[in-house]
Amino acid sequence: MKTVLWSITAVLGLLWSGAVALAHSVAAWAATAAGTADAQTLAAILRDWPLPAWLAWADPAMLESLRMALSAVGTGLVLSQPWIATAIGWIGPALWLVWALGIALLLALASIAHLLIHRLAPRPSLVHAAAGGANR
């Protein structure tokens, strides 16, 4: 049971680490892409993106507003260029601080569960002693 607990903890820790690393990579990309031709191109692509045929079931007004919102994100990257490069200076460490707090919480919960499993598990010596006392 303890092996299963720590295996699940390891998998959750890896997933959490991967998610934070991905968020850090996206933040770093946004910082470098802001204000460049990439961000302007992205805004234009999102603004002029033709809707796929398989989205025909969806409300066209909703899809148009979604397209405009995505275009606004690209435009926001262009306009936020002066401060987003400095913001990545604290966003990166803040993400890793959140990662450390998440890992600490995960390990604390797993340790508590480990102790509970240990305390609640039947002890063989007590089980045999009780069985031996009942046979007398």
Residue 134 pLDDT > 60:
no
Residues 43-87: tens digit of each pLDDT: 676 667 676 777 777 787 887 887 778 777 767 766 766 676 677
Kindly state whether residue 24 falls inside one of the protein's structural domains: yes
> Domain check: are 41 and 71 in the same one?
yes
Spatial contact of 99 and 16, defined as CB atoms under 8 Å apart:
yes
Kindly state whether residue 84 falls inside one of the protein's structural domains: no
Tell me what pLDDT residue 64 has. Answer: 80
- Alpha-carbon span 60 to 54, nearest angstrom: 12
Kindly state whether residue 43 falls inside one of the protein's structural domains: yes
DSSP state of 52: P
Helix (H) or strand (E) holding 104: helix 81-120
Q: How confident is the model at residue 20 (pLDDT cuts 50, 70, 90)?
A: very high
> Domain check: are 94 and 128 in the same one?
yes
> Domain check: are 110 and 123 in the same one?
yes
pTM value surpassing 0.85: no
- Residues counted in the chain: 136
> Domain check: are 107 and 122 in the same one?
yes
Domain span at 129: 1-32+89-136
- Alpha-carbon span 106 to 108, nearest angstrom: 5
Please give the tally of structural domains in the chain.
2
Kindly state whether residue 121 falls inside one of the protein's structural domains: yes
